[in-house]
Chain A
């Protein structure tokens, strides 16, 4: 089954990790395939980080260059111009045949969004017909008009797309979406198999991700790679800060290294899981020692607060599902909010 998304960062990878592990637990032999990988240079190696992480999580032993036979290794337009479409199609088909062996199901991950690769004749729509597999659309509920984009996808996939799962659905909207699913979407031949709610833990990022993105230096190393769900800028008086600290969950506080008052207070609040100190200012040792005692990481960065906030926020926009805690959470959500029996039937198991 091909798993696509209407928009980028819709949660496909996390969904595949969690669904794959559910299926494995139910005794199925699960494979994973990503026809069009997005390469990124890490050190001097070109890798698709998502594909690697999924293969690792699902303990898949196929070699990575078979799992991900084609990798976009240059800027997209350059890639399109230089690519040999015939060879690419051949490579993909061959790799897929290899992977299918001895598997009950292969979860095929679509490109960043379902239309990517059209210029190569390789978008998800083409992949579905090439491999002759059905598509499941993951729809991140960013705004109401996403349903138009879903319908537009349906018209391109035609019979290959019969099911969708909404992701990051929040609040009262659920009841309206439910009635939409029963009326308009059903009429258009789309079955809504689930609505996964927004979850702040999944949207969180790891302290280590923040530290490396900021190029910061640990004054206190983390005891555990906490997941940070919220950011708070500490520029207020301790009294008002207390109110904000309390209203957050698993938050990182960005403040000046000279704000001992805020730092000491933050260290008393269990919601605060990381301190990011700007301006290259180190607090006095009595304060650093407190963080050590509490096991709360303290990162010193050279930049000013505004730059630090902007950089940190950009990591949040691309929060990925990694690590046991997040995958477990995603599994729970799927088990609670997705009709698994119907999904398994849709996969054809």
Chain B
């Protein structure tokens, strides 16, 4: 639907002016190389900079495909109305003074107008858009980047200016550039969807402070990642960053974990810095897959070792060479050279020796990608070496380390899409981004398996209605879990000591007793949980518990929960927090009192199928404990998978549930049981 926005035949600049330095003037100048027709709109002039000028969009005799609007904020609504009447379907609103200035009402007004007329609007409060392939520079920046195949979407306009400047200096090309601005109508997902089909674009690069609609973003990203890579930086990861992002673009500080999880589940390669953003984007233009291990070929031992370390640290594999490769390398290299991976052709090597070694390594079937590392020795002819590199068919990156002496060679490589790094660690990190993309893509391509499980929706609906006023459900949460087929121990709530005894008699001994109170969240810490209670102690324990609870902060006590004492199992935690952007974020981790210290947890955004749930469990370090260490019997992982998918379903079925905390869940050789639980309602 955005085809015409990026490939317009006729463009109108509304607010065009002959006054030097004004945005309306720069916009017009930036369109001088544009391959289509340009009109100016301003009631005060008949002609500006040689372009015919009309008093309004409606009076332009042509059909207008794109209106670029730079008029005062309060006039923007009437201009958009006029565009709507004229049938203009695409608009870029450069003007600021909307949401970012606190004027939400004005922004809502233009959104409404655009919706009414079906206008695709970029902005407001943005730098504009660029399509290098038809010389459309609809921005008020002064630089047009070289043509290329990377598209860049950014929530910060000023950042785009820096990128354009850098791109020009470093000869990095772009296909499309979009400054998202306030995202009043079109957001990142809309552009991603368009760019997926854009033939000029091979990689989509994102700078985001927040997404507009988390679920939409994930859905679109999942589809787009199947076609081409998306590399994204999400800023505002820390408290300080979130504070800055909220002040800058009013972004919502959703949990960064949710962003990271959303990126992973929808195939977006996360970059942590601007440098990574470029490195990953540049490498993913050409390399999408690494079939096999990494081979390192170098003329310098030190950097070869550094690269080997990095390969291991990023979880990639150094390729194990075939016998034939080793023999062939021995034939061409001096006796003291290392013929194993990393291959050291030695400091006295010339480009020919290096090139021959490269070729032999490439032919090894265990090698998936090559890192070629060269330092500027007297013997090395870098141009010649680059020619050898260009002759390699397998994925290859280079580390031509140095300054003046390697410059021309690097330029030559760049021209052919080979990325060079000064630091071998960065080369490996970038190759790792390929691996990450490949793994995510493989997962996305497998559809999420729909899960048929029997649950009692009506029961949960009733519970929610009944306890709507309560916010934090403790005892009632067990009922909910039960309704969704999640195993909980038999229990009852006692309001008097006599009732406690009656319940315990029914359940059988020993029992666990806990105070039910919305005011006490960490019951164990204040002595409000008693385990292994026998019949003779039920009454006195009841009184002890309510006395402790009342002495503690004068807490409101609803009663005492009497629960069957479950045999100890391995402790795990399953939780859910509804992220304001992405919805239910499901958490799995090992339990116990050190949980806060180790933070050994994994996350997914619902829906989660059984495979994904199993992955979550495998992802935590303590998985090996669940599998059984030193001859211990393994725990029932399947039972945990079951709990996770049921929690995923419960959280998708009921929007009202904003948090769930199943802690601890005891897992046994056979089966598992939720021993304590808490549910928070909206």
- Is there contact, CB below 8 Å, between B249 and A175? no
The reply on A26 being an interface residue by CB < 8 A is no
Partner of A247, one of B108, B577, B680: B680
**B243 close to A246 (CB less than 8 A):** no
- Contact B243–A261 (Cβ < 8 Å): yes
Residues of chain A within 8 A (CB-CB) of B100 are: 285-286
Give the docked Cα–Cα distance between A292 and B254 (Å): 21
Whether B495 pairs with A263 at a CB distance below 8 angstroms is: no
CB pair A260 B658 closer than 8 Å = no
Q: How far is the CA of A286 from the CA of B239 in the complex (A)?
A: 19
Is B242 at the interface (CB under 8 A from chain A)? yes
Within 8 A of A (CB), among B638-659: 658-659
Q: Fill in one digit per residue for B221-261: 1 if any A CB lies within 8 Å of its CB, else 0.
A: 00000000000000010010011011111111111110000
Cβ contact within 8 Å between B559 and A286:
no
- B496 adjacent to A176 (CB under 8 Å): yes
Cα of A198 to Cα of B103 in the assembled complex, Å: 42
Q: How far is the CB of B521 from chain A (nearest CB, A)?
A: 9
**Cβ of A171 and Cβ of B557 under 8 Å apart?**
yes
Q: Does B291 contact A (CB under 8 A)?
A: no
**Residue with the highest number of chain B CB atoms closer than 10 Å, among A259, A260, A288:** A260
**Contact between B495 and A172, CB atoms less than 8 A apart:** yes
By the criterion CB–CB under 8 Å, are B556 and A198 in contact? Answer: yes
Given contacts A198-B556, A239-B255, A289-B103, contact A172 B546 (CB under 8 A): yes
Which residues of B from 461 to 476 have beta carbons under 8 Å from A? 469, 471-472
Taking a contact as CB atoms under 8 Å apart, the answer to whether B682 and A270 are in contact is yes
Measured between beta carbons, the chain B residues less than 8 angstroms from A249 are: 469, 471
Residues 136-194 of A at the B interface (beta carbon under 8 Å)? 143, 170-176
> Nearest Cβ distance between residue A157 and chain B, in whole angstroms?
29
- Interface hits, A179-219 → B, CB 8 Å: 198
| Interface flag for B102 (CB, 8 Å) | yes
Does B336 sit within 8 A of A, measured CB to CB? no
Q: Is the CB of B253 within 8 A of A264?
A: yes
Would you give the shortest CB distance from B656 to chain A, in whole angstroms?
A: 11
A116 in the interface, Cβ–Cβ < 8 Å? Answer: no
Cβ of B194 within 8 Å of any chain A Cβ, yes or no, is no
User: Which of A198, A243, A287 touches B250 (beta carbons < 8 Å)?
Assistant: A287
CB of B105 within 8 Å of the partner chain: yes
CB nearest neighbor in B for A265: B253
A261→B253 contact, CB < 8 A: yes
Q: Is the CB of B101 within 8 A of A289?
A: yes
A261 touches B245 (CB 8 A): yes
Residue contact B580 to A265, C-beta cutoff 8 Å: yes
Q: A172-B546, A261-B239 are in contact. Are A293 and B104 (CB under 8 A)?
A: yes
Q: What is the total number of residues of chain B having a CB less than 8 Å from a CB of chain A?
A: 45
Q: Which residues of A contact B104 (CB under 8 A)?
A: 289-290, 292-293
Say how far B234's CB is from chain A's closest CB, in angstroms: 14
Known: A173-B557, A264-B251. A242 touches B105 (CB 8 A): no
B517: Cβ under 8 A from any A Cβ: yes
| Across-interface contacts of B251 in A (CB, < 8 A) | 264
B236's closest neighbor in chain A, by CB? A261
CB-CB < 8 A to B254: which residues of A? Answer: 238
Tell yes or no: A284 within 8 A of B by CB: yes
Bound state CA distance, A268 and B580, in angstroms?
Answer: 8
Contacts of A238 in B (CB 8 A): 239, 242, 253-255
Q: Chain B residues near A246: list those with CB within 8 A.
A: 471, 658-659, 680, 682
A260 near B557: Cβ-Cβ < 8 Å: no
Number of A-B contacts (CB under 8 A): 109
**Cα of A260 to Cα of B72 in the assembled complex, Å:** 27
A172 touches B659 (CB 8 A): no
B560 contacts chain A at the CB level, 8 A cutoff? yes
B246's closest neighbor in chain A, by CB? Answer: A260
Q: Check if A248 sits within 8 Å of B471, measured CB to CB.
A: yes
Q: Which of A143, A174, A247, A286 contacts B102 (CB 8 A)?
A: A286
The A interface is mostly helix, strand or loop, or mixed, namely helix
Cβ-based interface call for A258 (8 A) = yes
**Please, how many angstroms separate the alpha-carbon atoms of A249 and B108 in the complex?**
29
Residue of B nearest to A241 (CB): B253
Contacts of A283 in B (CB 8 A): 247
- Asked if B193 is at the interface (CB within 8 A of a chain A CB), the reply is no
Give, as a whole number of angstroms, the nearest-CB distance from A231 to chain B.
Answer: 15
Expressed in whole angstroms, the Cα–Cα distance for A264 and B581 within the complex equals: 13
Which of B101, B236, B496, B554 is close to A172, meaning CB atoms less than 8 Å apart? B496
> 1/0 per position for A226-243, CB-CB distance to B under 8 A?
000000000001110011
For A, the interface residue count at a CB cutoff of 8 angstroms equals 38
Q: Which residue of B lies closest to A268 (CB)?
A: B580
Chain B nearest CB: distance from A144 CB in Å? Answer: 8
- Whether B243 and A260, one on each chain, are in contact in the complex, defined by CB atoms closer than 8 angstroms, is yes
Could you say which residues of chain A place their CB within 8 Å of the CB of B546?
172
Cβ A171 vs Cβ B558 within 8 A: yes
Q: Is B353 at the interface (CB under 8 A from chain A)?
A: no
Whether the pair A263, B246 counts as a contact (CB closer than 8 A) is yes
Q: How far is the CA of A264 from the CA of B252 in the complex (A)?
A: 6
Contact of B359 with A by CB under 8 A: no
- B99 interface contact, C-beta 8 A: yes
Contact B249 A286 (CB under 8 A): yes
Nearest to B240 among chain A residues (CB) is: A261
Which A residues are in CB contact (< 8 Å) with B250? Answer: 264, 286-287, 289-290
Q: How far apart sit A323 and B580, CA to CA, in the bound complex (Å)?
A: 33
A269 (CB) vs chain B CBs: closest residue: B580
Neighbouring B residues of A173 by C-beta, 8 Å: 557
Closest Cβ–Cβ distance, residue B342 to chain A (whole Å):
42
Contact of A258 among B102, B243, B257, B680 (CB under 8 A): B243
| Chain B residues closer than 8 Å to A290, beta-carbon distance | 104, 250
Chain B 90-113: CB-based contact to A (< 8 A → 1; otherwise 0): 000000000111111100100000
For chain A, residues 107 to 155, give those with C-beta under 8 angstroms from any C-beta of chain B. 143
- In the complex, residue of chain A having the shortest beta-carbon distance to the beta carbon of B242: A261
Nearest Cβ in chain A — how far from B61, in angstroms?
40
Question: What's the minimum C-beta distance from A326 to chain B, rounded to whole angstroms?
Answer: 15
In chain A, positions 283-308 with a C-beta closer than 8 Å to chain B are 283-290, 292-293
Contact, CB under 8 Å: A170 / B556: yes
A242 to B554, CA, bound (A): 26
Question: How far, in angstroms, from A246 to B579 measured CA to CA in the complex?
Answer: 11
CB distance from B313 to the nearest CB of A (A): 28
Which chain B residues lie closer than 8 Å to A261 at the CB level? Answer: 236, 239, 242-243, 245-246, 253
The residues of B that contact A288 with a CB separation of less than 8 Å are 102
Complex: how many Å from CA A268 to CA B682?
12
A247, A249, A288 — most chain B CB neighbours (10 Å)? A247
Q: Which residues of A contact B494 (CB under 8 A)?
A: 172
Q: What residues of chain A lie closer than 8 Å to B108, measured between beta carbons?
A: 293
Q: Is the CB of B102 within 8 A of A243?
A: no
| Residue from the set B103, B243, B245, B246 with the largest chain A CB neighbour count within 10 Å | B246
| Cβ A289 vs Cβ B99 within 8 A | yes
Q: Is the CB of A175 within 8 A of B495?
A: yes
Near A by CB (< 8 A), chain B positions 120-170 give: none
Taken together as a complex, chains A and B put the C-alpha atoms of A260 and B236 apart, in Å, by 12
Mask for B379-409, Cβ within 8 A of A = 1, else 0?
0000000000000000000000000000000
Hey, which chain B residues are within 8 Å of A258, CB to CB? 243
Shortest CB–CB separation between residue A304 and chain B, in angstroms? 19
Whether A286 touches B99, Cβ cut-off 8 Å, given contacts A171-B557, A172-B560, is yes
Q: Which residues of B contact A259 (CB under 8 A)?
A: 243
Task: Note all chain A residues with C-beta closer than 8 A to B517.
Answer: 171
- A261-B253, A289-B102 provided; 8 other pairs, C-beta below 8 A? A172-B494, A238-B253, A243-B680, A246-B471, A286-B99, A286-B248, A286-B250, A289-B104
For this complex, 19 residue pairs linking A to B, each with C-beta atoms less than 8 Å apart, are: A172-B494, A172-B495, A172-B558, A174-B495, A237-B239, A237-B242, A238-B254, A239-B257, A243-B659, A260-B246, A261-B239, A265-B580, A284-B247, A285-B103, A286-B99, A286-B247, A287-B102, A290-B250, A293-B104
Binding site for B on A (CB under 8 A): 143, 170-176, 198, 237-239, 242-243, 246-249, 258-265, 268, 270, 283-290, 292-293
Pairs of residues from A and B, 7 with the lowest C-beta to C-beta distance, nearest first: A289-B102, A285-B102, A238-B253, A260-B246, A293-B104, A261-B253, A261-B242
